[in-house]
Structure 1
Amino acid sequence: MADAEIPSVPGILTAGECLRTAESIAAAQESDGAIPWFPGGHTDPWDHIESAMALTAAGLLDEARAAYAWSAKTQRADGSWPKQFRAGVIEDPDTDTNFCAYIATGVWHYILSTGDAVFAADMWPVVRTAVDFVLTHQAPGGEIHWSTGPDGSSGEALLTGSSSIFHSLHCAIALAAHLNRPQPAWAAAAHRLGDALRHRPGSFLDKSRYSMDWYYPILSGALRGEPAHTRIRSHWPDFVVPDLGIRCVSDQPWVTGAETCELVLTLDAIGDTDRARHLFSNMQHLRESDGSYWTGLVFTDGKRWPEERTTWTAAAMILAADALSRTTPANALFRH
């Protein structure tokens, strides 16, 4: 891509800086296409896809396609993925349903970005089997159980995970329509899940001290309009730290870049663009000279923690930059 097609946010991030961040993600990519949290770290299927989306947004399409090829290659016959790999070896064989669903978000993002019909056809079986697997874990009330072990056991439902699945389902439905393969059962499942997210909070484990449980129902599109704005107002003081970003956990003095950028995407999705841009600017203190980003900062003592620069933090930053700048054809992925 030319520089003009790479996301940039005037006064905060140049296109060259954005590309440098994408290159820091690509530098961590392993020879088989996997994108670990950091060089030598583990790979999980969700953060791997988020990094692939960032590579796409910055025009590193060969690297993005290699990442999706890894996803296709490592998918199990039932449509799932193990939770964790390291250096090509399965490190945790259990399954997270949200991790599995996110392939639909990534593939639809790539199609919106490139219009690549061959890629869409090639990845359709991967998305279809993944979504079908995830929906086997939907409870009668609409919520989706989050974790499965080798014996097929299923865990309870998480608000953040089910919210992410809600968005992934709509991406899968859009992909199916794009390929003229309508999936009415997916639409019905998404409707039931959305109803649970909006009206039955007791269906989910209480993780309200985590910022993701605050904004993910909005980021996913389950909440819009005044209910979304009310939810943002209700917990803003609990999580937002002026001039630094947002806390990962409400009772800990730790701001994190990825959560801050996801809140940027959330605010942008509901039209609160001024505060979104301000938060995006605030989190840039985590940037390193090579374009990578530290995961977070303990603001009581000024120490970086954890002591890694994670690919998924860099990826969230790129996706937020694209949304704010309206640069790529996929910039509205979380607005619509």
Structure 2
Amino acid sequence: MSVVPYVGGVLDAAAVAASVASIEAVQEADGAIPWEPGRHADVWNHVEAAMALVVGGRDAAADRAYDWVLGLQRPDGSWPTSVVDGVVTDDAGDANFSAYLAVGVWHHWLVRRDDAFVRRCWPAVRAGLDWVTELQLPFGGIPWQECWVDGRPSHVHEDGALLAGGSSIYQALRAGVAIAELLGRPQPGWELAGGRLGHAVRRHPDGFMDKSTFAMDWYYPVLGGAVRGAEGRALLAARWDEFVVPGLGVRCVSTNPWVTGAETAELVMALDALGETGTALRLLGDLQHLREDDGRYATGFVYDDGVRWPPEHTTFTAGAVVLAADALGERHGAATPGSGIMRGTSLAPRFPELALECGCAGDRDPVS
């Protein structure tokens, strides 16, 4: 019988199981997990929800979820950005979305040790990460989307790269290399791309598009694993008061009086990755004001008005909370063998930092 994680004094196993069940309840017949009933699905948030299903022991639902991902991949290795009820509503290829399957597959392996599943997913993981790394820009970042026209890739990329997306891709590349090593299929190209991307995230954040008012740009370099240790603690401390509202959680955007559950749960995991478990526990407790009795989580709360907004309960929010509970449960309750997926303890080692082909080292402008 699988272990349902819990965090002592914050979330018991029944509460975590209820949140997992709330995700499964939204799953569609074809396996897709949309944000909410009737809303769109995207591969990144879908995989996050599938990971929560694995954590909760909902194996059949998780298998259907991964089958949906495999069936949606396109010949070039990418996935569309948005699908509603089986119909693609945004066919642009998103690099972060297309990389994230690797994280889900490695997490599945850690929890279930299903060799056949890993081998079945490997061609899709390989094609997805090959597509992503081929997009890499000279300074090391990766464009966030490739436009499609008339159902075909245009090879025209949205200008710039996203720091949060690049940080997530860094984690996905480490997961991909771990899968490749497990299967005896080394991928040195991914390691080189990861080294360049990690260098860009750590040393040239100004080379990415300016999304500095968003919390994700603040903590994702830590969550994705490119920035850790004292450097990671300093990064979070520098803007802590801008984003963290005591007793409520994390502002999605620093300029708005709105805290969101997914960002708060992700910061919990970033803190856990730095060993800041006391602060992580408090923050996980703070976000429980968004919880419903049936295990769902409201997306956010406008604290100036005292109202939850928007009026929705998203699967990705519940999924992030479940993964955060699993992470903290390792030291403060119970956890699955996949609890370290965000800490990176089971991933391939952090990539050696590489100088960039454009020569942008030291003080030189990374996009010059």
Structure with the larger helix share: 1
Cα distance in 2 for partners of 1:178, 1:203 equals 34
Which of residues 147, 154, 158 in structure 1 aligns to 2:157? Answer: 154
- Show the counterpart of 2:294: 290
- Show the counterpart of 1:72: 70
Cα deviation for residue 12 of structure 1 reads: 1.1
Cα deviation for residue 61 of structure 1 reads: 1.0
- Whether 1:171 and 2:167 are equivalent positions in the alignment is no
Equivalent runs, 1:83-94 vs 2, <5 Å = 83-94=81-92
Cα distance in 1 for partners of 2:274, 2:222 equals 8
Deviation digits for residues 237-279 of structure 1 (CA, Å, limit 9, x no counterpart):
0000000001000010000000000000000000000000000
- Show the counterpart of 2:354: none
Q: Name the TM-score, length of structure 1 as normaliser.
A: 0.98
Cα deviation for residue 171 of structure 1 reads: 0.4
Q: Name the TM-score, length of structure 2 as normaliser.
A: 0.90
Q: Which one-letter code corresponds to 1:335 in the other structure?
A: R
Q: CA RMSD in A?
A: 0.7
Deviation digits for residues 57-93 of structure 1 (CA, Å, limit 9, x no counterpart):
1111111111000000010011111100000000111
Cα deviation for residue 168 of structure 1 reads: 0.4
Which of residues 196, 211, 221 in structure 2 aligns to 1:217? Answer: 221
- Show the counterpart of 1:109: 107
Structure 1 runs of 4+ off > 3 angstroms? none
Cα deviation for residue 41 of structure 1 reads: 0.8
Equivalent runs, 1:37-76 vs 2, <5 Å = 37-76=35-74
- Whether 1:232 and 2:230 are equivalent positions in the alignment is no
Which of residues 315, 329, 333 in structure 1 aligns to 2:337? Answer: 329
Cα deviation for residue 140 of structure 1 reads: 1.7
Q: How many residues align?
A: 334
Cα distance in 2 for partners of 1:293, 1:256 equals 10
Q: Which one-letter code corresponds to 2:208 in the other structure?
A: F
Cα distance in 2 for partners of 1:57, 1:68 equals 14
Cα distance in 2 for partners of 1:306, 1:98 equals 25
Deviation digits for residues 6-35 of structure 1 (CA, Å, limit 9, x no counterpart):
011111111111111100000000000000
Cα deviation for residue 142 of structure 1 reads: 1.1
Cα distance in 2 for partners of 1:313, 1:202 equals 29
Cα distance in 1 for partners of 2:294, 2:342 equals 28
Secondary structure at 2:157 match in 1: coil
Which of residues 80, 83, 89 in structure 2 aligns to 1:82? Answer: 80
Cα deviation for residue 213 of structure 1 reads: 0.4
Cα deviation for residue 301 of structure 1 reads: 0.9
- Show the counterpart of 2:321: 317
Which of residues 199, 204, 211 in structure 1 aligns to 2:203? Answer: 199
Q: Which one-letter code corresponds to 1:139 in the other structure?
A: L
- Whether 1:274 and 2:278 are equivalent positions in the alignment is yes
Structure 1: runs of 5 or more not aligned: none
- Whether 1:265 and 2:269 are equivalent positions in the alignment is yes
